[in-house]
Every structure is written in C-alpha cells, then in structure tokens.
C-alpha cells in the first residue's frame, strides 16, 4: 500500500515539474517578444524626431538654385523640399498657416520683402558666427532675422550707337529735357522699382524722390510694360535709348541660347550711375528662418552653405549676380563692366520706405 502511495506522489511531482518548465519557457519567450517590440518602437520614434529635411519657401526660380540645393543634400544628407511661388503669395501662405506651417526658410529676391516678413512677425533671429563672417553687416538684418545671399545692381543700360558713356551721370539726370521720350523702365508695381525709389527716399527725402519719379514719367519713351529684358529689347527696337534694369538680366541675355537676345544685349552698354555722389542702387536676394520652423538648425545650415565661397561663386557664374561674401571675386563678365560705388544705406530702409514708394508712384501716374 505504501509503495502505491509513493508511486502516485512521484507521478504528481513529475507532472508539476513539467508544467513549471513549460511556464518558464513561455515567460522567457514573451519577454523576448516584448523587448523586441520596445526596441522597434524606440527606433521609429528616433527617426521621426531626428529630422533630416528642410522646407524652403522660395520666390526665386533659377536653375542654379536647384543645383545648389542638390549639392547641399549630397553634402549634408538633409533633404531640401522646395515650394516655389511669388513672394507676396508665399508670405500670405506662411501667415495663414501660422504655427502649423511647414515652412522653415523663406527666400526672396528683394530686401523689401524680407523686411515685410520680419515686420509681420514671420521670421526669427538666428545666431551663427559663420553667417556673420560670410555676410557683411550691411547685407544682413540688424536683428539677424534675414541674410543677403546675392547682390544685383540697378543700373542704366544704353544704346551704344546713340548714347556715349560721357552723356550719362546720375539717376536724377534722366529727368532732364535731353532725355525726353528716350527713357524705358518697367511698372511702378514692380518691387525692384519700389526699392529703387525707397532708396532715394532714404537718401534725399520724400519730396526729391517724388520729383524724380515725376520727371521719369515725363521722359518715358512709352508706358511701362514688361520686365527688364523687355526694356532692353525696346532699346534694340529703337523705342528708347536708355533703360533702368538689373545687371544680372543683361548677363543672362548675353549668355542666352536665344541668338536674338544675345544680339540685343551686345548692343547695350552698362553705366553705374551716381558714382560721384550717392552711389549705385544695390538690392539683394536673401533668406530668413521662419518663426514657426520645425527644422531651425537645418535652415541655418542651408543659409551658411549658400553664403559660403563655393556657392557664392556658383551664383555669380551661373546667374551673373554679385557675391555678398567679400572673399569671393566677381566673374570675368561682371568685372568687365567695371567697379562701382554702392549706396551707403541699410537695406532695411527699402522695406521701411516701401509704402511711401507705392504712394508716390500712384501720385505721379507711374503706371
């Protein structure tokens, strides 16, 4: 009897031992599964928060820009998502999107628009020793909310057959009687002309600026129409003898695949006005980090990249813009036009005086 009891007890212990071993095995397996899941989740979270992109809202539409963005991506591994549009439209979009905007960097071709972006609270200050080294103080916002990336001079171009360089002197001289019916320039709605007039307001005051605008209207060869290239073509067509336009347009025409554009440009001379007085008007393309940016560090890296010597050289060679970086020389074409003195004003003034410029253009009938 005792022997039978011992056999039963032994059997029960054996069963319990087997069950215990099964439970332990399952527990270990569950723990391993849990650990694997936790590791996967942690990795996914890291990839989401460690952003390798930047969303660029740009009003520039040049092939050279896309080339530089591709090079930046290659060197840094940071993807540049480019959203293109007109400057005012992009600013309104950023404003409308508010804190939910995806924009990290706003880039445009006029200091006045950069001022507006700052004035409307859409940009934030950034601190970068490299930017301060690469962009001179007069080509960056005093509060470090935007930085210039390229320069363009707004000059007088002239018909080489009808006009000699010694016939030209200042912007103001184009309002004199000898130029009646000979001057070409685009609309007063154009931001380049608004910034030009804004610089005159800053230097000479509103009254003199208004006198200049009225004098130009009196001497126009035709009502303003088209862009800067169209003014050059109008000279070639014999409509006028002089035009006010940005230098880089002439560079683009001289190197155009369109033989007719090249021919037009070859017949034009470049004159830098006001060299004995206030200097030639200069504007910039530039960019600022958006206040609600989710990728601020990446935005700063792109600004530093675009203002670095190699990128500045690329801008000059491909788009005929002057470098803002003092360590970079202008291209051979730009140098062939000669050195010139620039207006000695803060570019923030172009934004400060923009509204006044628009009012003056309307008052004098500059269409």
pLDDT value at position 60? 96
* DSSP bridge pairs for 288: 106
What are the boundaries of each domain within the chain? 53-150+284-329, 152-281+347-364
What whole-number distance in Å separates Cα of residue 107 and Cα of residue 361?
Answer: 26
**42: exposed, middle or buried (C-beta count within 10 Å: 0-12, 13-18, 19+)?**
exposed
Taking only the tens place, the pLDDT of each residue in 153-188 is 999 999 999 999 999 999 999 999 999 999 999 999
pLDDT value at position 341? 97
Q: How far out from the chain centre does Cα 275 lie?
A: 28
For the chain, residues with pLDDT lower than 50 are 1-50
Choose among 123, 65, 86, 125: nearest CA to 302.
65
pLDDT value at position 51? 81
pLDDT value at position 1? 44
Q: Are strands 281-289 and 147-159 parallel, antiparallel or unpaired?
A: antiparallel
CATH number for the segment(s) 152-281+347-364: 3.40.190.10
pLDDT value at position 62? 93
pLDDT value at position 182? 98
What whole-number distance in Å separates Cα of residue 20 and Cα of residue 29?
Answer: 14
Taking only the tens place, the pLDDT of each residue in 319-362 is 999 999 999 999 999 999 999 999 999 898 999 999 999 999 99
The reply to whether 53-150+284-329 and 152-281+347-364 are identical in fold is: yes
53-150+284-329: what CATH class?
Answer: alpha beta
pLDDT value at position 31? 38
pTM (global) more than 0.85: no
Q: H or E segment at 193?
A: helix 191-204
User: Residue 54: what are its φ and ψ, rounded to 5°?
Assistant: -145, 135
Residue 158: strand, helix, or coil? strand
CA distances from 176 to 167, 219, 362 (A): 12, 8, 21
């Amino acid at each position: 009897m005792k022997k039978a009891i011992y056999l039963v007890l032994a059997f029960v212990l054996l069963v319990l031992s087997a069950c215990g071993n099964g439970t332990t095995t399952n527990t270990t397996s569950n723990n391993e599964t849990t650990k694997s899941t936790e590791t996967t989740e942690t990795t996914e979270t890291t990839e989401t928060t460690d952003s390798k992109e930047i969303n660029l809202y740009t009003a520039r539409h040049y092939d050279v820009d896309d080339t530089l963005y591709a090079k930046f991506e290659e060197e840094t591994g940071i993807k540049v998502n480019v959203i293109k549009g007109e400057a005012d439209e992009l600013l309104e979009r950023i404003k409308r999107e508010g804190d939910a905007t995806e924009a990290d960097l706003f880039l445009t071709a006029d200091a006045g628009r950069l001022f507006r972006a700052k004035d409307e609270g859409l940009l934030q200050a950034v601190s970068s020793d490299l930017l301060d080294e690469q962009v001179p103080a007069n080509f960056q916002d005093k509060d470090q909310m935007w930085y210039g990336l390229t320069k363009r001079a707004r000059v007088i171009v002239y018909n080489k057959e009808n006009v000699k360089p010694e016939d030209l002197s200042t912007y103001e001289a184009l309002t004199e009687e000898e130029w009646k019916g000979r001057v070409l320039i685009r609309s007063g709605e154009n931001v380049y002309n608004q910034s030009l007039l804004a610089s005159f307001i800053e230097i000479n005051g509103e009254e003199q600026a208004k006198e200049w605008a009225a004098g130009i209207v009196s001497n126009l060869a035709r009502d303003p129409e088209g862009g800067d290239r169209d003014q050059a073509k109008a000279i070639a067509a014999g409509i006028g003898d002089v035009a006010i336009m940005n230098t880089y347009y002439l560079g683009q025409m001289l190197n155009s695949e369109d033989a007719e554009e090249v021919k037009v440009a070859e017949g034009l001379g470049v004159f830098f006005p006001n060299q004995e007085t206030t200097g030639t008007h200069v504007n910039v393309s530039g960019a600022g980090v958006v206040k609600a940016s989710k990728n601020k560090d990446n935005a700063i890296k792109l600004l530093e990249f675009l203002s670095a010597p190699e990128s500045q050289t690329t801008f000059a060679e491909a788009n005929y813009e002057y470098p803002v970086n003092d360590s970079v020389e202008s291209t051979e074409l730009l140098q062939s036009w000669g050195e010139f003195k620039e207006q000695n004003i803060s570019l923030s003034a172009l934004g400060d005086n923009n509204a006044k410029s628009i009012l003056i253009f309307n008052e004098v009938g500059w269409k």
